[in-house]
Amino acid sequence: MDCSIKNIKDDLCTALVNQNKDLVIDLSELSLDLVFDEGLTKDIPLLRTISAIYKTGINIKDRHFTKKLIAFINDFNQTTITEKRYIEFRTKMQDTNYKVKAIEDLIVIIDRARNYKKIKWITNLFKSYIEKNITWAEFCEFCDYTGYLVISDLRLLKKLLDAGTGGKCLSYPSNKNEISSAYKLINCNLVCINMTTDNFLGTTPVTTIYYITDNGIKFINSIK
Protein backbone atom coordinates (compact mmCIF):
# COMPACT_ATOMS: atom_id res chain seq x y z
CA MET A 1 0.00 0.00 0.00
CA ASP A 2 2.99 2.31 0.51
CA CYS A 3 3.36 2.94 -3.24
CA SER A 4 -0.12 4.46 -3.40
CA ILE A 5 -0.11 6.39 -0.12
CA LYS A 6 0.01 9.72 -1.98
CA ASN A 7 -3.24 8.87 -3.77
CA ILE A 8 -4.84 7.89 -0.47
CA LYS A 9 -3.75 11.18 1.10
CA ASP A 10 -5.13 13.19 -1.83
CA ASP A 11 -8.43 11.31 -1.83
CA LEU A 12 -8.79 11.56 1.97
CA CYS A 13 -8.36 15.32 1.66
CA THR A 14 -11.04 15.39 -1.05
CA ALA A 15 -13.42 13.39 1.15
CA LEU A 16 -12.90 15.74 4.10
CA VAL A 17 -13.58 18.93 2.18
CA ASN A 18 -16.55 17.47 0.28
CA GLN A 19 -18.72 15.95 2.99
CA ASN A 20 -21.44 13.84 1.36
CA LYS A 21 -24.17 12.45 3.59
CA ASP A 22 -25.54 10.37 0.71
CA LEU A 23 -22.35 8.30 0.43
CA VAL A 24 -22.55 6.02 3.46
CA ILE A 25 -21.72 2.31 3.45
CA ASP A 26 -22.90 -0.03 6.21
CA LEU A 27 -19.73 -1.96 7.02
CA SER A 28 -21.60 -4.19 9.43
CA GLU A 29 -23.60 -5.61 6.54
CA LEU A 30 -20.95 -5.77 3.82
CA SER A 31 -17.65 -7.59 3.34
CA LEU A 32 -14.69 -5.75 1.82
CA ASP A 33 -15.24 -7.67 -1.41
CA LEU A 34 -18.75 -6.23 -1.70
CA VAL A 35 -17.62 -2.76 -0.61
CA PHE A 36 -15.15 -2.72 -3.48
CA ASP A 37 -17.71 -3.78 -6.04
CA GLU A 38 -17.55 -1.24 -8.86
CA GLY A 39 -21.07 -0.05 -8.18
CA LEU A 40 -20.20 0.95 -4.62
CA THR A 41 -16.87 2.66 -5.29
CA LYS A 42 -17.33 4.49 -8.55
CA ASP A 43 -18.64 7.69 -6.91
CA ILE A 44 -16.05 7.80 -4.11
CA PRO A 45 -12.47 8.63 -5.19
CA LEU A 46 -10.95 7.34 -1.95
CA LEU A 47 -12.69 3.98 -2.33
CA ARG A 48 -11.66 3.74 -5.97
CA THR A 49 -8.03 4.19 -4.97
CA ILE A 50 -8.22 1.66 -2.13
CA SER A 51 -10.18 -0.74 -4.34
CA ALA A 52 -7.43 -0.74 -6.96
CA ILE A 53 -4.85 -1.55 -4.27
CA TYR A 54 -7.10 -4.13 -2.63
CA LYS A 55 -7.58 -6.05 -5.85
CA THR A 56 -3.81 -6.39 -6.29
CA GLY A 57 -3.61 -8.17 -2.94
CA ILE A 58 -2.96 -6.68 0.51
CA ASN A 59 -1.91 -8.13 3.85
CA ILE A 60 -4.05 -8.42 6.98
CA LYS A 61 -2.76 -5.19 8.53
CA ASP A 62 -3.57 -3.18 5.40
CA ARG A 63 -6.97 -4.86 5.22
CA HIS A 64 -7.78 -3.65 8.74
CA PHE A 65 -6.49 -0.16 7.93
CA THR A 66 -8.71 -0.11 4.86
CA LYS A 67 -11.85 -0.87 6.86
CA LYS A 68 -10.92 1.67 9.53
CA LEU A 69 -10.37 4.36 6.90
CA ILE A 70 -13.74 3.61 5.31
CA ALA A 71 -15.35 3.65 8.77
CA PHE A 72 -13.85 7.07 9.46
CA ILE A 73 -15.19 8.53 6.21
CA ASN A 74 -18.58 6.92 6.87
CA ASP A 75 -18.77 8.48 10.33
CA PHE A 76 -17.53 11.81 9.01
CA ASN A 77 -20.19 11.88 6.29
CA GLN A 78 -22.87 11.34 8.95
CA THR A 79 -21.51 14.10 11.19
CA THR A 80 -23.33 17.42 11.40
CA ILE A 81 -20.97 20.40 11.33
CA THR A 82 -22.05 24.03 11.41
CA GLU A 83 -21.76 25.60 7.97
CA LYS A 84 -19.54 28.48 9.13
CA ARG A 85 -16.98 26.21 10.79
CA TYR A 86 -16.95 23.76 7.87
CA ILE A 87 -16.27 26.57 5.40
CA GLU A 88 -13.43 27.78 7.63
CA PHE A 89 -11.98 24.26 7.73
CA ARG A 90 -12.19 23.88 3.95
CA THR A 91 -10.39 27.21 3.57
CA LYS A 92 -7.61 26.01 5.89
CA MET A 93 -7.21 22.87 3.80
CA GLN A 94 -6.25 25.03 0.82
CA ASP A 95 -2.96 25.76 2.60
CA THR A 96 -0.54 23.05 1.49
CA ASN A 97 1.50 22.90 4.71
CA TYR A 98 -1.61 22.69 6.87
CA LYS A 99 -3.22 20.08 4.61
CA VAL A 100 -0.14 17.83 4.52
CA LYS A 101 0.25 17.83 8.31
CA ALA A 102 -3.47 17.30 8.95
CA ILE A 103 -3.77 14.38 6.52
CA GLU A 104 -0.55 12.70 7.66
CA ASP A 105 -1.57 13.00 11.32
CA LEU A 106 -5.03 11.61 10.55
CA ILE A 107 -3.68 8.58 8.70
CA VAL A 108 -1.39 7.73 11.62
CA ILE A 109 -4.24 8.19 14.12
CA ILE A 110 -6.67 6.05 12.10
CA ASP A 111 -4.06 3.33 11.59
CA ARG A 112 -3.44 3.12 15.37
CA ALA A 113 -7.12 2.74 16.26
CA ARG A 114 -7.81 -0.71 17.70
CA ASN A 115 -11.43 -1.05 16.59
CA TYR A 116 -14.32 0.73 14.92
CA LYS A 117 -15.66 2.11 18.22
CA LYS A 118 -12.39 3.99 18.60
CA ILE A 119 -12.85 5.29 15.04
CA LYS A 120 -16.19 6.77 16.11
CA TRP A 121 -14.48 8.52 19.01
CA ILE A 122 -11.80 9.86 16.67
CA THR A 123 -14.47 11.17 14.28
CA ASN A 124 -16.25 12.95 17.14
CA LEU A 125 -12.97 14.52 18.25
CA PHE A 126 -12.25 15.59 14.67
CA LYS A 127 -15.65 17.24 14.48
CA SER A 128 -14.94 19.03 17.75
CA TYR A 129 -11.69 20.31 16.25
CA ILE A 130 -13.46 21.61 13.14
CA GLU A 131 -16.02 23.30 15.40
CA LYS A 132 -13.06 24.96 17.20
CA ASN A 133 -13.93 23.43 20.55
CA ILE A 134 -10.41 21.97 20.76
CA THR A 135 -7.07 22.77 19.13
CA TRP A 136 -5.23 20.48 16.74
CA ALA A 137 -2.71 19.66 19.48
CA GLU A 138 -5.59 18.71 21.79
CA PHE A 139 -7.18 16.63 19.03
CA CYS A 140 -3.97 14.62 18.58
CA GLU A 141 -3.50 14.28 22.34
CA PHE A 142 -7.09 13.18 22.92
CA CYS A 143 -6.83 10.65 20.08
CA ASP A 144 -3.81 9.17 21.87
CA TYR A 145 -6.01 8.74 24.94
CA THR A 146 -8.58 6.76 22.93
CA GLY A 147 -6.01 4.01 22.48
CA TYR A 148 -5.62 3.75 26.25
CA LEU A 149 -9.16 4.22 27.50
CA VAL A 150 -12.22 1.97 27.28
CA ILE A 151 -15.95 2.65 27.53
CA SER A 152 -16.05 2.08 31.31
CA ASP A 153 -13.45 4.83 31.74
CA LEU A 154 -15.66 7.22 29.78
CA ARG A 155 -18.66 6.27 31.90
CA LEU A 156 -16.78 7.28 35.04
CA LEU A 157 -15.65 10.52 33.41
CA LYS A 158 -19.29 11.30 32.58
CA LYS A 159 -20.29 10.60 36.20
CA LEU A 160 -17.61 13.00 37.42
CA LEU A 161 -18.83 15.60 34.93
CA ASP A 162 -22.35 15.23 36.31
CA ALA A 163 -21.02 15.44 39.87
CA GLY A 164 -19.72 18.94 39.20
CA THR A 165 -17.42 20.79 41.58
CA GLY A 166 -18.36 18.52 44.47
CA GLY A 167 -16.62 15.58 42.88
CA LYS A 168 -17.32 11.96 43.73
CA CYS A 169 -16.06 9.84 46.62
CA LEU A 170 -14.86 6.38 45.58
CA SER A 171 -13.98 3.82 48.22
CA TYR A 172 -12.25 0.46 48.04
CA PRO A 173 -13.35 -2.30 47.56
CA SER A 174 -16.91 -1.31 46.65
CA ASN A 175 -15.70 1.01 43.86
CA LYS A 176 -12.52 -0.84 42.91
CA ASN A 177 -13.32 -0.95 39.18
CA GLU A 178 -14.09 2.77 39.08
CA ILE A 179 -10.94 3.50 41.08
CA SER A 180 -8.95 1.58 38.47
CA SER A 181 -10.57 3.70 35.75
CA ALA A 182 -9.95 6.85 37.77
CA TYR A 183 -6.20 6.27 37.89
CA LYS A 184 -6.09 5.72 34.14
CA LEU A 185 -7.90 9.04 33.74
CA ILE A 186 -5.52 10.71 36.20
CA ASN A 187 -2.59 9.57 34.03
CA CYS A 188 -4.27 11.36 31.12
CA ASN A 189 -4.79 14.53 33.19
CA LEU A 190 -8.55 14.13 32.81
CA VAL A 191 -9.20 13.55 36.52
CA CYS A 192 -7.60 14.76 39.75
CA ILE A 193 -8.02 13.72 43.40
CA ASN A 194 -8.18 15.33 46.81
CA MET A 195 -7.37 13.22 49.87
CA THR A 196 -8.35 14.28 53.39
CA THR A 197 -7.82 12.62 56.76
CA ASP A 198 -10.08 12.85 59.79
CA ASN A 199 -9.15 11.94 63.35
CA PHE A 200 -11.94 9.83 64.79
CA LEU A 201 -11.55 7.79 67.97
CA GLY A 202 -7.82 7.52 67.48
CA THR A 203 -8.03 6.52 63.82
CA THR A 204 -7.20 8.56 60.73
CA PRO A 205 -9.56 7.45 57.94
CA VAL A 206 -8.75 8.79 54.50
CA THR A 207 -11.45 10.18 52.22
CA THR A 208 -10.59 10.39 48.53
CA ILE A 209 -12.65 12.64 46.27
CA TYR A 210 -12.24 12.42 42.50
CA TYR A 211 -12.85 15.46 40.29
CA ILE A 212 -12.96 15.95 36.55
CA THR A 213 -10.37 18.44 35.31
CA ASP A 214 -10.93 21.20 32.75
CA ASN A 215 -9.11 18.95 30.28
CA GLY A 216 -11.45 16.12 31.21
CA ILE A 217 -14.51 18.29 30.60
CA LYS A 218 -13.20 19.25 27.19
CA PHE A 219 -12.40 15.62 26.36
CA ILE A 220 -15.74 14.08 27.37
CA ASN A 221 -17.73 16.87 25.70
CA SER A 222 -15.75 16.37 22.49
CA ILE A 223 -15.81 12.59 22.29
CA LYS A 224 -19.48 11.89 23.03
| C-beta separation of 25 from 35 below 8 A | yes
| C-beta separation of 189 from 133 below 8 A | no
Residue 147 has pLDDT above 50, yes or no: yes
Exposure on the CB side of residue 184, measured as CA atoms within 13 A: 20
Mean pLDDT of 146-167: 95
What is the per-residue pLDDT across 38-81, written as a single tens digit (0 to 9) for each? 555 555 666 666 666 555 555 656 777 878 888 898 899 889 99
**Rounded percentage of the chain residues whose pLDDT exceeds 90:** 53
Q: Which of 100, 40, 94 lies closest to 70, judged by CA? A: 40
Under the banding of pLDDT at 50, 70 and 90, the label for residue 1 is very low
Mean pLDDT of 143-165: 95
CATH numbers and ranges of domains, the chain: 2-134 (no CATH), 151-223 (1.10.10)
* Radius of gyration of the chain measured on its C-alpha atoms: 21
Q: Which long-range contacts (CB under 8 A, 24 or more apart) does 42-48 make?
A: 44/15, 44/73, 45/11, 45/14, 45/15, 46/8, 46/11, 46/12, 46/14, 46/15, 46/73, 48/11
Mean pLDDT of 205-213: 87
More confident residue, 136 or 51: 136
Residue 105 has pLDDT above 70, yes or no: yes
